[in-house]
Amino acid sequence: RYVKLAVLGSLAAALVLNTHSLLASLQRNELSERRFLQLNKCPACWGTSWCRKFLNGQLRLESWGRLRLLDFFNVKNVYFARYGEPREGSRRVVLKRLGSAQELADIDTKICRRATGRGRCDLLQALPATEFASLNGDVRLLTPGAVEGWSDLVHCPSQRLLDRLVRRYAETKDSGSFLLRNLKDSERMQLLITLAFNPEPLVLQSFPSDEGWPFAKYLGACGRMVAVNYVGEELWSYFNAPWEKRVDLAWQLMEIAEQLTNNDFEFALYLLDVSFDNFAVGPRDGKVIIVDAENVLVADKRLIRQNKPENWDVWYESKFDDCDKEACLSFSKEILCARVTVDHNYYAICQNLLSRHATWRGTSGGLLHDPPAEIAKDGHLEALLDECANPKKRYGRFQAAKELREYLAQLSNNVR
């Protein structure tokens, strides 16, 4: 209590002492300033496709987001803004720096150390001496050997996945080609740096919402700021919603788990970070969308079938992780990359979001807590959730996940 009072007192004092500068910051549009966007860091940045919109003042931070004093609490560097087109009016968008201030500073340090051996340097002069510039205009393709292990997205990349990343790269005017040499030098470095430090934009671009993937829509970037479509309130805000709403959301979450695991493209997208603040719900359509896609591992099932690593065709059951922390998951990236049939996504959704094992911000019981008396008495829902989170039978989670999806769909139809 005393700590909170001290913090509030400090903020009040800072507000009084900095009234003039605060008023100035409220009037100024920092999103049109190159320094705020860290445009000077490019090509050690996320892109430039939306720079014209930023610099022309078409984006403005929402009221409190203009107060730099509050950046202390905005650890993730996520901002809400209004984006306006002359004929379309304005709409809400989400802006991300893709890392905390310290993480972004670490990027600069790593680039400098790789190039010069020192922690500080001129980034523009250092970049040509790093691996991010090694793939020059003579290189035809982005190959697995060049980037394997750089991030979760490419922990075990196939050529098919990398061709998809390059072909759908949105930070180039000549998108549509899988040939790396068709990108400019600066665009290649931006692509590789994004892939190495935070591949979320590449996940959103390669598996776009326009094609039915459950991710937020990628809009563009300028410097070290990317813009994505605003989806709605975080899933957390629906924790105590009416039972009918929570059943529908739970059904959608299990459908997402199924889609990312089994799809016609034969890419398995495994969610390595599953928590209530990584999903959001559309206010109009009620659709659940993934809004944090930094930690997504993509395994190419076609490649696994082709290479046939040891036990490749043996179904893999994820191990239940009964830890006392929030959003725990137990997994092996190597196994995710080497098996065709894996229950990881079902496990992650059931354990961390739906079942009684899910804990978040001091609450427990999961999204499907406190079911109506007749459903609680029946016990079928609780049994399915328990088996999905912590199976007692061999391959029990696979069957429980299937039956849970069907049961939740039935409940949703019953209440609509």
Per-residue pLDDT tens digits for 201-236? 999 999 999 999 999 999 999 999 999 999 999 999
As a whole number of angstroms, the distance between CA 161 and CA 167 comes to 10
What is the third-level CATH fold of 237-414? Answer: Transferase(Phosphotransferase); domain 1 (1.10.510)
Q: At CB < 8 A and 24+ separation, what contacts does 362-368 make?
A: 363/239, 367/235, 367/238, 367/239, 367/246, 367/249, 367/250, 367/253, 368/246, 368/247, 368/250
Low-confidence ranges of the chain (pLDDT < 50): 20, 66, 68-69, 72, 415-416
Q: In the chain, what are the domain boundaries? A: 237-414
**pLDDT for 71:** 55
Sign of CA dihedral 225, 228, 232, 238: negative
Q: What are the CA-CA distances from residue 163 to residues 133, 141, 160, 207, 416 (Å)?
A: 19, 8, 5, 13, 43
At 390, give phi and psi (nearest 5°): -140, 80
Sign of CA dihedral 379, 385, 386, 392: positive
Mean residue pLDDT of the chain comes to 90
Collapse the DSSP code of 410 into the 3-class scheme (helix H, G, I; strand E, B; otherwise coil) and give the result: helix
Displacement of CA 207 from its chain's centroid (Å): 12
pTM, two decimal places:
0.90
- Tokens representing 174 are 């000549």
Specify the pLDDT at position 335. Answer: 97
CA 218 from chain centre, in angstroms, equals 11
Q: Which helix (H) or strand (E) holds 14?
A: helix 2-17
Burial 50-86 (b: 16+ CB within 10 A, else e): bbebbbeebbbbeeebbbeeeeeebeebebebbbeee
**Range list of H helices, 18-92:** 19-27, 34-37, 51-55
Give the side-chain half-sphere CA count within 13 A for 157.
23
Contacts of 129 (CB under 8 A, 6+ apart): 114, 115, 116
E strand residue ranges, 50-193: 59-61, 78-85, 89-96
Distance (Å, whole) CA 160 – CA 169: 14
Beta-carbon contacts of residue 83 (< 8 Å; ≥ 6 apart): 53, 58, 59, 90, 91, 92, 93, 219, 227
Exposed / middle / buried, residue 245 (Cβ in 10 Å: 0-12, 13-18, 19+): middle
- CA neighbor of 394 nearest in space, from 311, 315, 313: 315
On whether the CB atoms of residues 251 and 257 are closer than 8 A, the answer is no
Cα separation, 394 vs 408, whole angstroms: 23
Pair 141, 156: CB distance under 8 Å: no
Which residue carries 């979760």 as its tokens?
A: 152
* Ramachandran region, residue 232 (left: φ > 0; alpha: ψ -120 to 50; beta: rest): left
Contacts of 158 (CB under 8 A, 6+ apart): 144, 300, 302, 303
Widest pairwise Cα distance in the chain: 68
Within a 10 A sphere around the Cβ of 187, how many other Cβ atoms? Answer: 21
CA angle 300, 135, 181 (to 5 degrees): 85
**Rounded-to-integer distance, Cα 286 and Cα 269, Å:** 23
